[in-house]
Amino acid sequence: MIMNQRYVKLAIDTMFINGMVFVTTISRNIQYCTVLWVQNKEEQSYCISLEQVMEVYHRAGFVVEQISADNKFAPIL
């Protein structure tokens, strides 16, 4: 599977539950989802979360080649 789907396209967004902020991602080709809690709505917190997601894919042997997001994520992409 890794060889056939090595290059991953991610979609990223935020989700709010009871006032808590989460970053959610899904890979378009392998349909793997991640959800990470974010301490606050600052740019740095979103960067840390995105780096953690990228590390998960990297450790599994995948390469994130594209990230789709709304304008909220433009400063960190």
Instruction: Provide the residue-wise pLDDT of the chain in tens; the chain has 77 residues.
Output: 667 789 999 999 999 999 999 999 999 989 999 999 999 888 899 999 999 999 999 999 999 999 999 988 888 87
The amino acid occupying position 1 is M
Q: What order do you get walking across the sheet with 7-17 strand by strand? A: 33-38, 20-27, 7-17, 63-68
| pTM of the shown model | 0.82
In angstroms, rounded to a whole number, what is the distance separating the alpha carbons of residues 60 and 77?
22
